[in-house]
Amino acid sequence: MDDWRNSKYVYAMGSIQAQLYQIRAVVKRLPSANDDLLAIGATLNGENAAYSSSSQIDLNGRGTWDVITYPFIEQS
């Protein structure tokens, strides 16, 4: 099947290519849609400051950050 464009499978192959294009387009949009949904959820819960859309955050600057210590580990 060297030239599928002239074969009896031309409609099936064209349909598969169109579906792959649509899937790639949706997958490219998913991260921004996810960020938007998380930001909306934080806003609705009144926690605007708790959500960051950047890939890195500084936890030391947040008031809710606390170091977890265990009683059986001595702090030096």
13-49: per-residue pLDDT in tens? 889 999 999 999 999 999 888 888 888 888 888 887 7
20 assigned to some structural domain? yes
What is the pLDDT at residue 46? 84
In this prediction, residues 51-67 reach a mean pLDDT of 66
Structure tokens at 53: 């859309």
Residue 56 structural domain:
4-61
Mean pLDDT of the chain: 79
Model's pTM, two decimal places? 0.50
Residue in this structure with the two tokens 């598969």, named with its chain if needed: 16
68 assigned to some structural domain? no
Check if the beta carbon of residue 51 is closer than 8 Å to that of residue 42.
yes
SS3 3: coil
End-to-end CA distance of the chain: 71
38 assigned to some structural domain? yes
25 assigned to some structural domain? yes
Cα–Cα distance measured from residue 25 to residue 32, given in angstroms and rounded to the nearest whole number: 12
What is the total count of domains within the chain?
1
70 assigned to some structural domain? no
Check if the beta carbon of residue 1 is closer than 8 Å to that of residue 7.
yes
